[in-house]
Structure 1
Amino acid sequence: MILCMFQPFLYFMLETFGVKYTSTSEVGVMISMIPVVTGIMGIIFLNEKMNLKQVVCIVIAVFGVIIVNLQNTGNQTSSILGRIMILAAVICAGAYGVYVRKLSKSEFTPIEITAAMQLIGTISFTSILSNIAMVVSIFAGVFLLNEKFNFYSIVGSMLIIISVIGMVIYGKGKHEDLEIEYIN
């Protein structure tokens, strides 16, 4: 039940209300930080290790988010409340990612975890939209809502995308080790 409070309940609730008070392109950029936040939380709570390349990617991602948020401080469609809600949603998603790894190694099967999440999601979110991917939110904001996607947004988005790709590429060995450990 704790896992289900992080996601789907809190994550989608915070994201849904955060989108209301923040531009969709900014939301997309911040949501793309989930793998980075999950990695950091894995280090803190599961004692996972990261190599230097992954740490550099995290620093680049954080720098990208700072650039996007500094640039958007004068944006009429964004508010501090919206940004805080989206940041809290990202933290909930990271907590989910870490906690689900812990639970799946010891206490519950993937089917049990999925069933609990589906049940809580169904109860909590009858008629609410699901997760908006970064690319969809940016394109929707720019092309449908005529939001500006200027140089700072491009640079910040590219830094975040590059860092997330780097996290995946440089973390491949870690996932293989976890699979071997889980099988044994």
Structure 2
Amino acid sequence: MNPSPPGLKFAYLCAVINAIIIGFSFLFTKIALEFGTPLDLLTFRFAASFAVMSIPVLLGRVRLNYRGKKFYKLLLLATLYPLSFFTLQSYGLQHATSSEGGILFAFTPILTVLLAFLFLKETTTLLQKLSICLSVGGVLFIFIMKGSRIDWSNMTGIVLLFLSCLVMAGYSVLAKRLLKSFSPAEITYVMLGIAFLFFSAVSLTGHTAAGTLDQLFSPLASGTFIMAVLYLGILSTLVTALSSNYALSKIEASKVSVFSNLSTIVSIAAGAFLLGEDVSLYHIVGSALIIAGVIGTNLLGKKGVKQVPNQAKAG
């Protein structure tokens, strides 16, 4: 039996933590949007995440080294996520429902498998493919039983949301490749910095042109909004970016992507415990299918597959 690569168990833990945090993010996003627009929320979200990560960077606790590396590839990565992903998702949800977004996002692992095969030459066994489909099926089962469906007459929203899923899959594949020369911290810091600059510029420009600059900062008078922004910025953006990038540095992109469906289970649990929402039998059945699919994807692969080690030193 081949020994597990160093950090593999922690990588799986990061993938699980990532899904848990994202699962709660829907609740905090809903809270924050009661006080500000989606674009303003993104501005504060990335301002918080970039500011917090800048502290250990400036203090020398996290060392970043971009010298001699192909920095333009990081710019391309940041263009995919978070810029393109959040832009497509935000405009997509203006034309479609959140349920439609959840249904389409469930297909991200399948898109990731396809792109990982094309660009990373990652292969999956038949049992792994079936496990991924089982996990996706669990998410779809929950939404269908809730009465959710896709309105195919609303093609604008559907196309934008599908493109956001494709962008997320592309991010996972490109990040997996770049993690051979960049550390997770180096990738994350550039992502957050570019997103902060972009969304701040767009939001400030829009409010200045409309003469509503005071509305940009007015939500900061609410402690509830600040709490939600800190969760979304620090945990749901900074921590998830670091944990996702670390997991991708140790595990195949196709395996990491399927963990995203666990966030559906967390969202159900959050709604039940924090909002008093009912949990039905179909929630339990769908959750069991999701968990079985995640376990199968990560345990039913080929044995003894040699992983390409990450060449970047930890920051």
Q: TM-score range by the shorter chain?
A: 0.5 to 0.7
Higher Rg: 2
CA contact (8 A) 1:43 1:49 kept: yes
Given the alignment of the two structures, is residue 100 of structure 1 paired with residue 100 of structure 2, yes or no? no
Give the superposition deviation at 1:32.
Answer: 2.8
2:97 aligns with one of 23, 29, 53: 23
Relative to the length of structure 2, the TM-score reads 0.43
Q: How does 1:37-76 map to 2 (within 5 A)?
A: 37-60=111-134, 75=151
| Structure 1 residues 74 and 115: CA distance shift in structure 2, 3 A | closer
CA contact (8 A) 2:265 2:287 kept: no
CA contact (8 A) 1:3 1:96 kept: yes
Q: Secondary structure at the match of 1:182?
A: coil
Given the alignment of the two structures, is residue 89 of structure 1 paired with residue 161 of structure 2, yes or no? no
Give the superposition deviation at 1:16.
Answer: 1.3
Relative to the length of structure 1, the TM-score reads 0.67
Q: Which runs of 5+ in 2 are unaligned?
A: 1-74, 204-228, 237-262, 276-281
Q: Which runs of 5+ in 1 are unaligned?
A: 145-151
The structure with higher relative contact order (CA 8 Å, sep 6+) is 1
Q: Letter of the aligned partner of 2:86 in structure 1?
A: F
CA contact (8 A) 2:131 2:296 kept: yes
Give the superposition deviation at 1:37.
Answer: 2.0
Q: How does 1:73-152 map to 2 (within 5 A)?
A: 75=151, 79-106=154-181, 108-126=182-200, 134=264
Alpha-carbon distance in structure 2 between the residues aligned to 1:95 and 1:16: 18
Cα RMSD, aligned residues only: 4.2
- Percent of paired sites with the same residue: 33
CA contact (8 A) 1:21 1:81 kept: yes
Alpha-carbon distance in structure 1 between the residues aligned to 2:269 and 2:154: 20
Q: Considering fraction of residues, name the structure with more helix.
A: 1
| Structure 1 residues 21 and 136: CA distance shift in structure 2, 3 A | farther
